[in-house]
Amino acid sequence: MENRVVITGLGVVSPIGSGKKIFAGNLFAGVCGIERITLFDASHFSTRIAAEVRDFSPEKVVPGHLLEWFDRFAHYGMAAAKEAVDDSGLNLEQEDPGRIGVIIGTGRGGIAAVEDFYLAWKNGLDFSGTAPFAKYFCGTASSAVAMMLGARGPNNTVMAACASGTIAVGSAFQLLQRGGADVVIAGGCEAPLTLCVFAGACATRAMSTRNDEPERACRPFDRKRDGYIMGEGAGVVVLETLAHAQRRGARVYGEIAGYGMNSDAYHITAPLPDGAGLARAMSDALREARLEPSRIDYLNAHGTSTLLNDKCETAAIKKVFGPSAYRLAVSSTKSMTGHLLGAAGAVELIACLLSMDNNLVPPTINLENPDLPDCDLDYVANKAREKEIRVAMSNSSGFGGHNACIIVKK
């Protein structure tokens, strides 16, 4: 018999605020975290706006002896993991460290460290230590979290582009189901706002160029959308077997009811035009959860604000939900946070759990004129909505054809 799995702790670092409480307040208030880029000179790029994390000081959360060893993306992951564990009430000294796992997703890893290392080398600087070299390894976030917490159980890094965070949580769910751990700290972290990554993203022409109105640039499902907005941050959750959580009297945010993951096997950047891959991931999650589509109260869409994604995802939702699609509350929180790439799915899962906790659906801001007839669902435009949410679904897709879906329930 498979173990039931629950989520008992939340941690978030985001462009609309770091810390669960600040993030939730801004999420439901429709606050936008997209502004002009300050991390580097973007004046020569077609896109000059992004969703930066602006309230974060690694020195406040990362142990001093670990600070220099890790890149900014890992710092974000460590901060979110620390908050999640504190929020869960876990006393790590009373746990078997060999039964505590860590699974973290990232799409770009320590890319900032790669650029810094190259530029320093190009300028003739000599490195006598190994820290700069080690910073860029994609697996350093999961290692850093394990080192910080003393977690000696299963440890892994997921790299599945923009579906990484969701797949990391899904992998943790499956590990706990089969009894491979008692507790798993899982999520995603990303710090991709660097010259190299941004130049490449601009070259794809998939990002918005609404530079004069950054707060209105990300507009999922709107007919005037012109691309996504790149962001950074981290989302981490504490997952436990239900039995373990009950033994210690933990507060439970929700139970993971179902998970689906697959590949389009179609194109390196474009989704299947009919959304069939994402539809299959949703159907698989519903099948595992033993739920009819009509039981879903809220769906946090991948909703990137690109021309292709929004209409393909809408088509996928209609394929799975049928007539009940038009009674479903759907929103894209990327309209506020930007696209956090490998961290997106984990942060959006946290948005779902906070929605269940508060019985509030976060809005899709900047939705003024839906792109009819392709985007004709209830996207909870511009203002949060009171609604009892007992079951929520979170979708993620990524370049290369990655699709993933998680269902959580009260």
Residues linked to residue 256 through DSSP beta bridges, in sequence order? 408
Q: What is the torsion angle, in degrees rounded to the nearest 10, for the CA atoms of residue 380, residue 222, residue 286 and residue 295? A: 30
Residue the block writes with tokens 């979110």: 80
Give all strands (DSSP E) within 165-315, no chain letters.
Answer: 183-190, 233-241, 254-263, 298-300
State the Cα–Cα distance between residues 267 and 45, nearest whole angstrom.
Answer: 26
DSSP letter string over 21-60? Answer: HHHHHHHHHT----EE--SS--TTSS--EEB---S--GGG
Q: Distance of CA 56 to CAs 63, 75, 76, 175, Å?
A: 15, 10, 8, 32
Helix, strand, coil shares of the chain as percentages rounded to 5? 40, 20, 40
- Separation CA 167–CA 170 (nearest Å): 5
Q: Does 162 qualify as catalytic in the annotation?
A: yes
CA 123 → CA 71, 117, 189, 199, distances in Å?
20, 10, 30, 21
Sign for the pseudo-dihedral over CA of 116, 120, 121, 126? negative
**Catalytic member of 312, 339, 375, 402:** 339
164-177 and 344-358 helices cross at what angle (nearest 10)? 70
What type of residue is 250?
A
Q: Which of 75, 244, 302, 402 is catalytic?
A: 302
Q: Which of 32, 75, 138, 162 is catalytic?
A: 162
> What is the SS3 assignment for 227?
coil
CA distances to 266, 298, 318, 326, 363 from 378, rounded to whole Å, are 29, 10, 12, 6, 11
339 is a catalytic site residue: yes
> Cα(58)–Cα(197) distance, rounded to whole angstroms?
22
Maximum distance among all Cα pairs of the chain, rounded to whole angstroms:
64
| Amino acid symbol at 38 | T
Tell me whether residue 44 is one of the annotated catalytic residues. Answer: no
Pairing of β 100-105 and β 183-190: parallel
| CB 77, CB 236: distance < 8 Å | yes
| Rounded Cα gap, residues 304 and 339, in angstroms | 7
**Mind telling me the catalytic residues?**
162, 302, 339
